[in-house]
Amino acid sequence: MSPVKPQPANRIILLGAPGAGKGTVAKALVDLFGLSHLSTGDMLRAAVAAGTPLGVQAKSFMDAGALVPDELMVGLIADRVQQPDCKSPSGVVRFLLDGFPRTLPQADALDAGQLGPDLVVYLAVDDAIIVDRLCGRRTCPGCGSPFHIHFAPPKVDGICDRCGTALVHRSDDQEAAIRKRLEAFHRQTGPLVGRYAACLVTIDGAQAPADVLAQVVRTLRARGAIVENAGQTANVVS
Ligand SMILES: [Zn+2]
């Protein structure tokens, strides 16, 4: 018997704690592989604005202050991937899903909708590093410019370079709030690492961003993801 050839990786899920660097990786994969980046917030807003049947249903939950049920969210994803930007020239559905699933029941709902991933990229970063990354953020309440006390310090301590306003340390970026989000991530989303073991690749997200990216790109190429911008990809990897 010949070994089963793994599915080419075209339905990709990005998994990682807040602050693990998912946003940077997602943007690069969109640019390099021409993948459509599906975020639940964007899909919800678009469906509600367009008044699709599922959008109308979703709105009723949101208006009532309730969470949108997992099956409904999967329905929105199923609708979304029918759009041309989620198909290769030969009609293969391909996407990069970020922020969903966050829980085991959501992963089950995704499978039930025939939308399970063929590759899960898990950006693993120690909590201590994430706390350091997020806790050092400072924001300008005047113009919104972001700073970081270690990685992007302002020229004058505590003052916005652009408009001179005193920078603030938002409550979201304070250690207690970050620890709480990390705890929720480990409790709810952590089990997905085991759930997706068969198609999961763990990347050390504590490396320099360029190294994280190069490793993710190598992984996708090794898994036969369709490369739309081969020149750019080669530059990142070499
Ligand atoms: Zn400013």
Residues 159-197 have pLDDT tens digits of 999 999 999 999 989 999 999 999 999 999 999 999 999
- Write the DSSP string, 68-132: PPHHHHHHHHHHHTTSGGGB-TT--B-EEEES---SHHHHHHHHHTT---SEEEEEE--HHHHHH
Task: From the candidates 22, 80, 94, 133, give the one annotated as an active-site residue.
Answer: 22
Q: What phi-psi label fits residue 108: left (phi over 0), alpha (psi between -120 and 50 degrees) or beta?
A: alpha
Fold for 11-36+83-237, please state it. Answer: Rossmann fold (3.40.50)
CA of residue 140 to ligand 1 center, whole Å: 5
Looking at the predicted structure, is the pLDDT value of residue 2 above 60?
Answer: no
Question: Considering 45, 59, 87, 102, which one is annotated as catalytic?
Answer: 102
**Greatest mean pLDDT range, 4-18, 86-100, 185-199, 218-232:** 185-199
Distance 139 CA to ligand 1 centre (A): 8
Q: Annotated catalytic, 170?
A: yes
102 included as an active-site residue: yes
Which residues are close to ligand 1, an ion, with C-beta < 5 A? 140, 142-143, 145, 160, 162-163, 165
Beta bridge partners of 147: 138
On the question of pLDDT at 151 being above 50, the answer is yes
User: What value does the mean pLDDT of the chain take?
Assistant: 90
* Catalytic residue, candidates 27, 162, 170, 180: 170
Gap from CA of 129 to ligand 1 centroid (Å) = 27
Q: Does residue 138 carry a catalytic annotation?
A: no
pLDDT tens for residues 119-148?
Answer: 999 999 999 999 999 999 999 999 999 999
DSSP 159: B
- Distance of CA 112 to CAs 76, 121, 212, Å? 14, 21, 32
* pLDDT at 72 > cutoff 50: yes
Distance between Cα 175 and ligand 1 center (Å): 23
Ligand 1 centroid to 198 CA: how many Å? 47
Q: Give yes or no: 181 in active site.
A: yes
Pairing of strands 119-124, 200-204: parallel
Distance 58 CA to ligand 1 centre (A): 37
